[in-house]
Amino acid sequence: MKANAGTVTNFEVLDLLNSRGASNDTTRVIAPITTLEYKVYDYLMETPACTQTQEIITNFSDQCKDFKLAKAEILNIINIRPSSTVNLASILEEPSERGIDKKAKEGILKLVEALLPSPPIVEARGENEEEETEEGEQS
Amino acid sequence: MFCLSELEDTVRVPPDLLKLPLEVAIKKVLQKLFLDKVLSIGLCVSIYDIKSAEGGFVLPGDGAPTYKVVFIIVVFRPFVGEVIAARFKESDSNGLRLTLGFFEDIYVPAPLIPRPNRCEPDPCNRNQMRWVWIFEEQEYIIDDSYQINFRVENISYPPVPTERAEDGAIDDDGLGPVSWWEGCSERNNEDDDT
């Protein structure tokens, strides 16, 4: 038994669910996707993963090599798509000790801006909350 | 956030599933056994692939064949230090609880909420407490209006393997409700221009 046969990005899981027929419309009932898998699908559709493709991810990981980032950090960046130094700061571990200065951080952000598409706009939940809780109770 | 794990298990396929193609039947049994269960390797989310299925022997006294199956599953297993976007679920005086939809046991204990802060009874919901962050004389309420980014601090598996709890931290730069930082970074840009 291999506990870790490989980490996958959020996009790859979304791609897997998509290839099995997951979608947002009424064909949900027919596709062979379990309720739990749909919850994962719904979650991932609100993250930057829904705008990415395999090419974009491979391209981005290749170009990240210059910045000497850890694999976990590259994964985090792909999944979260930081848009500012503040967002990036929470992802990088001890940047000053590894020689990642402000210029490098800006370089990374430029790469993110150029290669990774912008995430979907997640609307504020306030008004929709009542509808959603009602649906939750019914199902 | 997600990992692939290869497992081997002995699977009993009930006779009523034998009319389906073998792979589909085994997958159904595996889904029932593993999906939505927390194993030591993580929360099993989906059966990725079945690599091999051997055997198919029917044991005496049983009507169902048993297969030795090697398969790959997708597990949700965050690592310590990972930054994840979640939604607010509820809060009380001990801290916050966040949810990902498919996983709801993310706790942000009070010491890991950005300080200075204060906790007050929630005016909209009598049973809950509301946390407010005070920064530069402005108050930011932690509620469910936006996504909240948190960093995984600790993962604990309870002795009875039904749920798994995670501790998150939102007291660092860039963590917390996304709206705080979008507003803040705009402000910083203005300052730089002047």
Instruction: Confirm whether A125 is domain-assigned.
Output: no
Instruction: Confirm whether A16 is domain-assigned.
Output: yes
Confirm or reject contact between A6 and chain B (CB < 8 A): yes
**Cα A83–chain centre separation:** 13
- The answer to whether B48 touches A16, Cβ cutoff 8 Å, is yes
Instruction: Confirm whether A77 is domain-assigned.
Output: yes
Which has the closest alpha carbon to B34: B13, B63, B56, B7? B7
Which of B45, B102, B173 has the CB atom closest to A90's CB atom?
B173
Q: Do A106 and A93 sit in the same domain of this protein?
A: yes
> Structure tokens of B178?
């996304």
> pLDDT tens-digit profile of A48-107?
888 888 888 888 888 888 777 888 888 888 888 887 777 777 777 777 777 777 788 888
- The answer to whether A101 touches A35, Cβ cutoff 8 Å, is no
Strands in B65-76's sheet, in edge-to-edge order, are A2-8, B2-12, B65-76, B42-58, B38-39
Question: Chain A contacts of B173, Cβ < 8 Å?
Answer: 86, 89-90
Residue A85 backbone phi and psi in degrees, to 5: -60, -30
ipTM above 0.95, yes or no: no
CA geometry: angle A76, A80, A86, nearest 5 deg: 95
Instruction: Confirm whether A134 is domain-assigned.
Output: no
Q: Do A61 and A110 sit in the same domain of this protein?
A: yes
Nearest-Cα residue of chain B relative to residue A84: B185
Instruction: Confirm whether A132 is domain-assigned.
Output: no
Q: Do A79 and A97 sit in the same domain of this protein?
A: yes
Sign of the CA dihedral B16, B33, B74, A118?
positive
Residue range(s) defining the domain that contains residue A32? 10-50
Q: Do A65 and A89 sit in the same domain of this protein?
A: yes
What CATH number is attached to the domain comprising A86?
A: 1.20.1250.40
Identify the three-state secondary structure at position B105: coil
State the average pLDDT over residues A20-32. 69
* The three-state (H, E, C) secondary structure of chain A, written as one string: CEEEEEEECHHHHHHHHHHCCCCCCHHHHCCCCCHHHHHHHHHHHCCHHHHCCHHHHHHHHHHHHHHCCCHHHHHHHHHHCCCCHHHHHHHCCCCHHHCCCHHHHHHHHHHHHHHCCCCCCCCCCCCCHHHHHHHHHHC
Q: Do A67 and A92 sit in the same domain of this protein?
A: yes
Q: Do A16 and A58 sit in the same domain of this protein?
A: no
CA distance to partner chain B, nearest, from residue A38 (Å): 9
Instruction: Confirm whether A31 is domain-assigned.
Output: yes
> Structure tokens of B97?
């609880």
Q: Do A27 and A42 sit in the same domain of this protein?
A: yes
Q: Do A108 and A58 sit in the same domain of this protein?
A: yes
Q: Do A125 and B4 touch (CB under 8 A)?
A: no
> Structure tokens of B164?
């798994």
> pLDDT tens-digit profile of B48-95?
888 888 887 888 888 888 889 999 988 888 887 787 888 888 877 777
Neighbours of A47 (CB within 10 A): 22
Nearest-Cα residue of chain A relative to residue B99: A43
Q: Do A68 and A18 sit in the same domain of this protein?
A: no
> Structure tokens of B45?
């989310």
Question: Chain B contacts of A4, Cβ < 8 Å?
Answer: 3-5, 41
Residue A46 has what pLDDT?
82
Q: Do A109 and A64 sit in the same domain of this protein?
A: yes
- DSSP code at position B165: E
Residue A126 has what pLDDT?
41
For residue A135, pLDDT over 50 is answered with no
Q: Do A65 and A107 sit in the same domain of this protein?
A: yes
Number of domains in chain A: 2
Instruction: Confirm whether A20 is domain-assigned.
Output: yes
Helices (H), chain B: 22-34, 178-193
What is the model's pTM? 0.73
Q: Across the A/B interface, how many CB contacts are shorter than 8 Å?
A: 112
Confirm or reject contact between A71 and chain B (CB < 8 A): no
What are chain B's domains? 2-76 (3.30.1490.120), 83-190 (2.40.50.140)
> Structure tokens of A123?
């609307």
Residue B7 backbone phi and psi in degrees, to 5: -130, 160
Q: Do A66 and A108 sit in the same domain of this protein?
A: yes
Confirm or reject contact between A102 and chain B (CB < 8 A): no
> pLDDT tens-digit profile of A115-126?
888 777 655 444
- pLDDT of chain B along its 194 residues, tens only? 888 888 888 888 888 888 888 888 888 888 888 888 877 777 888 888 888 888 878 888 888 888 899 999 888 888 877 878 888 888 777 777 888 888 887 877 777 777 777 777 777 766 777 777 777 777 777 766 677 777 777 777 655 544 455 555 454 444 554 444 443 333 333 333 32
Nearest-Cα residue of chain B relative to residue A124: B145
Instruction: Confirm whether A43 is domain-assigned.
Output: yes
Which of A17, A34, A90 has the CB atom closest to B151's CB atom?
A90
Element (H, E) at B45: strand B42-58
Which of A13, A42, A76 has the CB atom closest to B2's CB atom?
A13
